[in-house]
Structure 1
Amino acid sequence: MNGILYMDVSVFEDVLLYEKGKTLLSAERRMYIEKLKNPKTARLSLGAGVLLFFALQKCNYTEQLEKIKKTPLGKPYLKGIDFQFNLSHSGTYALCAYSNRNIGADLQQIKEKLPEKTEKILSKDETSFLTKFTQPEQTQLFYRLWARKESLIKWDGRGLRLPLQEISFIKNGTLTDILEWEDKTLYFKEYPKINEKYAVCICKEGTDFARNAEEITAEMLKIF
């Protein structure tokens, strides 16, 4: 069981679709969204919750929607069933990755310029690697590396306690999709076809990734 769902949350600028989407959420997420004052933030959180609903539906687990718990460090999970998931959002896109094993997912909107203080995120090898490319290529690569590291953080579940600058995805001078992390071998897969302006990466043990990501559209929402 492996899948990746995504959507452009701009569809929720339609008030009717926004209200329709809220009916697919858990009571906890619905209450959280209703307290948000920033419409953009609310649409992103709504989109992530809607994608989780669709993921549970595909696996015949919709009755589990109200049973989501969180670890002491805030990672959401469902106890006692063979369903792991991870949510992410950025820009106007939301993402949900699910599997029968622990999974981390991240989506990053690629900005026009590099953010300040990249040394807090990149290793020395990664910083050196980026200097081989043009400025636009450096920006693309930076966000791809950041998505990798965020997906690792979310797979791990310990949050920003991980020393990002000590983790390197450069091996023998090239970008690698495999990382030896503590006592495990982790694999990373990108999904550039979702949108060229976003970096998307999934982290998990094993190479049984979903081949393609599936878009959830406004038309699919309207049938509920």
Structure 2
Amino acid sequence: MANILYMDVTIFKEEALFLKGMSFIPTERRNKIQNFKSLMPARLSLGAGVLLKIALNRYGLEDKIDQIETEEHGKPYLKNTNFHFSLSHSGHYAVCAFSDKRIGADLQRIKEKLPQRTTKILSDTEKAYLDKLEERERIRTFYRLWARKESLSKWDGRGLRLPIEQLSFVQDGILQDMITFEGKTLYLREYSDLLPEYALCLCNETGFFTGKIEEITAESLKNT
């Protein structure tokens, strides 16, 4: 079962909420945020950190936020617990997916145009699939594919080290929600209705995604 917390980080325009959010997160992330030269990246990083803190609260692990470590390839985890999480942000939203099983999550804001270079993202089969679609649907589907690939790479832990252009989520002309990867069957779940202008996808080994979805608003953060 996977749970999702999400947040519109523009709430941190309010100074009191920004300061409260900063009090939630470890020193390392606070220092990183203070070194950002632009407001939106700082707010996105803060939003992801705050959501993680709230997710830990849900598991009764709020005092362990400073104990998060990283695996060999950089995937963060909390040692000796059954708490697994994945963070993502794009546009002006941050997301934290958490579960008792390994999980990957990715959020992509759907832009007006395709990136100039897509060769490092798409397989030949996926490119052929997109070429058959009308322009707007082609753009939307591209970001859906990108979110799928990134969620798998975050599940795996290798991130950008993983050659995602070799993964294909199109088979027999159909977009797939399941893929065999290095001998394992992985499942993907999109949440297209949650944030219509974004592609949000989760990846896990179980195929069970039904959990609680909760937006953390300015009001709910004030009461946290």
Q: Same fold (TM over 0.5)?
A: yes
- In structure 2, the partner of 1:182 is 182
1:169-222 CA distances to partner (integer Å, 9 max, x unpaired)? 011210010000011000000111221110000011011113452111111111
Preserved contact between residue 108 and residue 198 of structure 1 (Cα < 8 Å): yes
Equivalent residue, structure 2, for 1:77: 77
CA contact (8 A) 1:106 1:150 kept: yes
Give SS of 1:160's match.
helix
What's the CA shift for 1:27? Answer: 2.2
Question: Which aligned runs of 4 or more in structure 1 are off by greater than 3 angstroms?
Answer: none
Q: Is the 8 A contact 1:194 1:213 kept in 2?
A: no
In 1: Cα distance, 2:83 partner to 2:222 partner:
26
Q: Deviations over 1:113-165 (max 9, x none)?
A: 01112122111111111122110000000000000000011111112222222
Aligned to 1:48: 48
Offset, 1:36:
1.8
Q: Any unmatched runs of 5+ in structure 1?
A: none
What does residue range 100-119 of structure 1 map to in structure 2 within 5 Å? 100-119=100-119
Contact 1:191 1:212 in 2 (8 A): no
The DSSP-based 3-state class of the residue aligned with 2:24 is coil
| Residue pair 1:191, 1:213 contacting (<8 A) in 2 also | no
TM-score by length of 2: 0.96
Change (3 A) 1:68 1:184: same
2:221 is matched with: 221
Conserved 8 A contact 1:8-1:94: yes
Task: Pick which of 59-68 and 84-93 moved more.
Answer: 59-68
What pairs with 1:1-224 in structure 2 (closer than 5 Å)?
Answer: 1-211=1-211, 213-224=213-224
Q: Give 1:42 shift.
A: 0.5
Task: Describe the SS at the equivalent of 1:81.
Answer: coil
Aligned partner of 1:66: which letter?
Answer: D
CA contact (8 A) 1:25 1:53 kept: yes
CA positional deviation for 1:73: 2.3
Q: Could you tell me how far apart the structure 2 residues matched to 1:118 and 1:2 are?
A: 30
Unaligned runs of 5+ in 2: none
Match of 1:45, SS state, is helix
Q: 1:71 offset after TM fit, Å?
A: 2.0
The whole-number CA distance in structure 2 between the counterparts of 1:187 and 1:142 is 18
Q: 1:210 to 1:29 in 2, by over 3 A?
A: farther
**2:2 and 2:212 in contact (8 A); partners too:** no
TM-score, scaled relative to structure 1 = 0.96
Aligned length: 224
